[in-house]
Amino acid sequence: MKRICLIISIALYCSYLLKAQHYTISGYITDEKSSETLIGASVFESGLRKGAVSNSFGFYSLTLPRGAVEIRYSYVGYAPEIIRLDLSKDTIINILLKENNVLQEVTVTASPQETGVKGTQMSAIHVPVAQLKAVPSLLGENDLIKALQLLPGVQSGTEGFTGFYVRGGGPDENLFLLDGVPLYDINHLGGFFSVFNADAIKNVTLYKGGFPARFGSRLSSVLDVRMNDGNNKKLHGNISVGLLSAKISLEGPLFGEKTTFNISARRTYYDILAQPLLWYVQSENDMEKTKAGYYFYDLNVKVSHKLSDRDRLFLSFYMGDDVLYADVKDEYEYTNENNAYRDTDKMKMSWNWGNLLTVLRWNRVLGNKLFMNVTTHFTRYRFDLGVGSAFQSNNPNANNYDTNITYKSGIQDYSGKIEFDYAPNPNHDVKFGANYINHTFHPSVFVAKMHEDNATPLDTVIGDKDVFAHEMVAYAEDNFSIGQYFKINAGLHYSAFSVQGKFYHSLQPRVSFRAMLKENLSLKAGYTIMSQYIHLLSNNLISLPTDLWVPVTKRIVPMKSHQAALGIFYNLRNIADFSIEGYYKTMDNIIEYKDGATFLNINTGWEDKVSIGRGWAYGVEFLAQKTVGKTTGWVGYTWAKSERQFDRPGQELNFGRIFPAKYDRRHSISIVAMHRFGEKIDVSGTWVYNTGDCATLGLQKYAHPDYYSAYDYRDGLSYIDQRNNYRKPAYHRLDFGINFHKKRKHGTRTWNISIYNLYNRNNPFLILPDEKYSDDGRTSKKVLKQISIFPIIPSVSYTYKF
């Protein structure tokens, strides 16, 4: 018996020793040419069939048993690298992957590791930047948001305007992260273009559901955009000139290979081009002197520094503004009682809005299995609208005045965050961390300054006071395998929000599950609870930069959503991917402006202008994408339904009845195709179809209670049976783009020709009842008028890359 016990003990000890003889391979995966870290690259040991994925900073960690191993490093668009070694100790391998010119042609919308057939992540799409740049665009401006709106489950708002609607959620339910830091307004020119300059971006991942525990704060989506770090070998850049804007990007080493920089700038010049024309028209027509225009600009800067093999420091900066201005000046001279006088009348308007963001980040490899990221940031969104008028005269009897009224709103955050990635063994990938954000909300303020002769000067501030809030987050998640067929990502996200003496908190479980049905076929399911502590007050008609960010308060409680999703994923010979996903989502405590409410009314606090209600959305999304070959692209189809109900006493909208959400579109189809004819020419085209948006129209007129019968020619009252009761005509559009590349002595030049709305479809922007009069003006008839804003728009741009 003693012998048996001894044998068992020895066996257990040997087993322990064998188990203990695991070693960790870790390091960074980077681009060979630029040393740019690669996010989501695959590290795979083929014999044991164990693998890992590089994190958001390109770091990976894979623990394997002692012995001979064959590690395959791969990344989309890069030639795989295979390393064979006898693993006998913890090893650091920093891998440089070479761009594969053949694979570079490939268009891939899903990273196979994280979001494809084998990963647990569902309802997420990884978008290579090369693909973004290939999608034909309005006025030749590559636009990240417009490209994402071509994916199933993502809806655009009113054409040309702000709006990013994911799975029936509202426009404020999306978290836009630039290098991990929230941006509150992502639009230029009211949404015609986004603030993301494609030249500055390295990586884009959109999460529509199945949110890992590390993400939170919004109900419907997370868009994780990472900026380029900068090339540490050589100075590179590109210059681009289009019809709307000019761009320049530069990247390279700074004081040696340890420090890199990346700077991208963009500015529109419509205002500069239009001003001489404006002056000419004024001089020809003897008009008032007017200076007016609009422009926007972006500036992205990132500096990274390698302190040691274990430490890296990053400083990111973004600044972007939209500026709309008009100055009208009218001067006139006159004589009165032999005195000459000169009067000057001025009117001015300036409308500025934009973001400012600064991020300081420190990465440290604490051990082969543990990676730490510490981030501190400042982000600010502000909106200023100023209107002024002044009158000055040398006539002593004149009444001189100078009046300025400014409307301001905004939000700013200071934040500190610490995150850890821990990979104890190949079956587990643990992430945990904590975050603190200090919010300051400036809901809406009018500042009025008035100076007038013989009157008391006025200098007053009217409106909501600043609101200060504290947000705390802690999370932990583990992406773990159970055998070869099952993988689960389970986590907890805890968030708390303190505002106006009120403390809200929420524990949000997250779970995603993947079962491999075949080598290339998997079933995935996910369930998430999300909580959101800030709201965007937005008018329903169109979204504008005037939309206000406001926090939860004592009266306005946090929004909360539950989302369940189920999907099947199939990969066809690594050439094409197919997925079909269904989801059901509920949203509680969402807010909307009450009937008739507007941001312009400062007599009423914003809390009194909104109603609290709930919504729910469900749908099915289909995506087929061809990822390899000269012809690539995807077909997406979404069937969806999204409804709202505001029935709390005193908060009723639509008299408490259920109504469709404004962007409730039953069918959405998008087809995106790209073809490369060779090194010199490539073409791309997109076709998109959406069921029309909802609008609210009074479809009947009826008599007033004080109707005078025969002599009463008043138009009557409008009968609106329910909100969003009218479906606008369907939206569809075909875009086309062609690129001509040519190698030059120091780089490559590209001519891009794009045609937006190729068959000149008049898509509805606004639908209004109107009165049409006969030529003699005696008779009229009522008509329904459609306003469209984008006819066929050809554009051309030139890019030189060196």
For residues 146-205, which are near other proteins according to CB under 8 A? 160, 189-190, 192
Among positions 73, 549, 756, 765, the unique one binding other proteins when judged by CB under 8 A:
765
The CB-of-785 to other proteins minimum distance in angstroms stands at 6
One of 62, 385, 640, 661 touching other proteins (CB under 8 A) = 385
Identified binder of other proteins from the candidate list 490, 683, 738, 789, rule CB under 8 A: 789
Nearer to other proteins, 505 or 772 (CB): 772
Neighbours of 572 (CB within 10 A): 12
For other proteins, give the closer residue by CB, 513 or 765: 765
Residue from 248, 387, 580, 628 touching other proteins (CB under 8 A): that is: 387
Mark the segment that binds other proteins (CB under 8 A) among 54-62, 428-436, 621-629, 764-772. 764-772
How many Å apart are CA 302 and CA 468, to the nearest integer?
30
Among the residue ranges 6-14, 100-108, 557-565, 763-771, the one whose residues contact other proteins (CB under 8 A): 763-771
Binding status of residue 80 toward other proteins by CB under 8 A: no
CA distance 415 to 413: 6
Site for other proteins in 334-373 (CB under 8 A): 347, 349, 351
Smallest distance from other proteins to CB 278, Å: 12
Minimum distance of other proteins from residue 688's CB (angstroms): 19
DSSP letter for 104, please.
G
Q: Which of 66, 666, 727, 801 is the binder for other proteins (CB under 8 A)?
A: 727
What is the smallest separation between the CB atom of 137 and other proteins, expressed in angstroms? 18
Tell whether residue 783 is a contact of other proteins (CB under 8 A): yes
Of 86 and 715, which has the nearer Cβ to other proteins?
Answer: 715
Cα separation, 508 vs 215, in Å, equals: 11
Give the residue among 141, 189, 194 at the shortest CA–CA distance from 164.
194
Q: Is the Cβ–Cβ distance between 652 and 613 less than 8 Å?
A: no
Candidate residues 104, 399, 631, 780; the one interacting with other proteins per rule CB under 8 A:
780
Instruction: Kindly tell me which residue out of 290, 358, 376, 389 binds other proteins, with binding defined by CB under 8 A.
Output: 389
747 touches other proteins by CB under 8 A: no
Residue 405 or 472: which CB sits closer to other proteins?
Answer: 405
Please give the C-alpha separations between residue 574 and each of 29, 73, 413, 628, in angstroms, as whole numbers: 23, 17, 44, 8
| Residue 789 beta carbon to other proteins: minimum distance, rounded to whole angstroms | 5
- Judged by CB under 8 A, the chain residues 301 through 340 that form the site for other proteins are 324, 326
Contact between 278 and other proteins per CB under 8 A: no
Where are any strands of DSSP class E within 146-244? 154-156, 164-166, 174-178, 181-183, 187-188, 193-194, 201-207, 221-227, 236-241
Q: Which contacts (CB < 8 Å, 24+ apart) does range 605-609 have?
A: 605/464, 606/443, 606/444, 606/464, 606/537, 606/548, 606/550, 607/553, 607/555, 607/556, 609/537
Answer yes or no whether residue 456 interacts with other proteins by CB under 8 A: no
Q: Which of 22, 786, 794, 800 binds other proteins (CB under 8 A)?
A: 786
Minimum distance from CB of 786 to other proteins (Å)?
A: 4
Q: Using CA atoms of 597, 602, 606, 609 in order, give the dihedral in degrees to the nearest 10.
A: -20
- Binding to other proteins in span 501-520, by CB under 8 A: none
Binding region for other proteins (CB under 8 A) out of 63-71, 506-514, 539-547, 612-620: 539-547
Q: From the CB of 596, what's the least distance to other proteins, in Å?
A: 4
Q: How far is the CB of 296 from other proteins (least distance, A)?
A: 12
Token digits of residue 310: 């274990």
Confirm if 686 and 734 have CB atoms less than 8 A apart: yes
* CA distances to 82, 87, 443 from 66, in Å: 18, 5, 60
| Beta-bridge partner residues of 559 | 532
Is 71:5 a contact under the CB 8 Å cutoff? no
Single residue of 67, 256, 416, 769 touching other proteins by CB under 8 A = 769
Among 331, 681, 718, 743, binds other proteins (CB under 8 A): 718
State the minimum distance, in angstroms, from the CB of residue 716 to other proteins: 6
Q: How far is the CB of 787 from other proteins (least distance, A)?
A: 5
| Residue 540 in contact with other proteins, rule: CB under 8 A | yes
Reduced to 3 states, what is the DSSP secondary structure of residue 238?
A: strand
Rounded Cα distance, 499 and 619, in Å: 35
* Coil, helix or strand at residue 132: helix
Could you tell me the smallest distance in angstroms from the CB atom of residue 762 to other proteins?
6
What's the min distance (Å) between Cβ of 161 and other proteins?
Answer: 9
Contact at 8 Å (CB) between 74 and 51?
no
Residues 575-594 within binding reach of other proteins (CB under 8 A): 592-594
Binding residues among 395-454 for other proteins as defined by CB under 8 A: 405, 407, 446
Least distance from C-beta 559 to other proteins, angstroms?
20
Q: Which is nearer to other proteins, 340 or 783 (CB)?
A: 783
DSSP 15-49: HHHHHH-EEEEEEEEEETTT--B-TT-EEEETTTT
Q: Measure Cα distances from 509 to 212, 213, 396, 422, 490 in Å.
A: 9, 8, 74, 20, 8
The three-class DSSP label of residue 442 is: strand
Applying the rule CB under 8 A, the residues between 593 and 652 that interact with other proteins are: 593-604, 608, 650
- State both tokens at 316: 């990111």
3-state SS of 469-534 is EEEEEEEEEEEEEECCCEEEEEEEEEEEEEECCEEEEEEEEEEEEEEEEECCEEEEEEEEEEEECE
Residues near 726 by Cβ (< 8 Å), separated by ≥ 6?
694, 695, 696, 697, 699, 767
Q: Which is nearer to other proteins, 228 or 444 (CB)?
A: 444
Region from 46-54, 249-257, 619-627, 716-724 binding other proteins, contact rule CB under 8 A: 716-724
- Comparing CB distances to other proteins, the nearer of 500 and 780 is 780
Scanning 232-240, 276-284, 542-550, 569-577 for contacts with other proteins by CB under 8 A, the matching segment is 542-550
Helical (H) or strand (E) element with 131: helix 129-134
Q: How would you classify residue 409: left for phi > 0, otherwise alpha for psi between -120 and 50, otherwise beta?
A: beta
Task: Figure out which of the listed residues 235, 455, 458, 784 binds other proteins, where binding follows CB under 8 A.
Answer: 784
Is 723 a residue that touches other proteins (CB under 8 A)? yes
Per-residue tokens: 700: 């009947």
Amino acid at 36: E
> 42 to each of 82, 145, 396, how far by Cα in Å?
12, 27, 80
Distance CA 555, CA 791 (A): 45
| Binding span for other proteins by CB under 8 A among 95-103, 133-141, 547-555, 758-766 | 758-766
- Supply the minimum distance, in Å, between the C-beta of residue 502 and other proteins: 22
Residue 80: in which H helix or E strand, if any?
none
Closest CB to other proteins among residues 582, 692: 692
**Computed from CA positions of residues 755, 757, 762, 765, in that sequence, does the dihedral angle turn out positive or negative?**
negative
Q: Restricting to residues 19-78, name those near other proteins by CB under 8 A.
A: none
Of 423, 433, 533, 567, the residue nearest 491 (C-alpha):
433
In this complex, which beta carbon is closest to other proteins, that of residue 375 or of residue 724? 724
* 12: contact with other proteins by CB under 8 A: no
Size of residue set near other proteins by CB under 8 A: 82
- Work out whether 393 is an interface residue with other proteins (CB under 8 A): no
Nearest approach in angstroms of CB 662 to other proteins is: 11
The one among 332, 334, 486, 655 contacting other proteins by CB under 8 A? 655
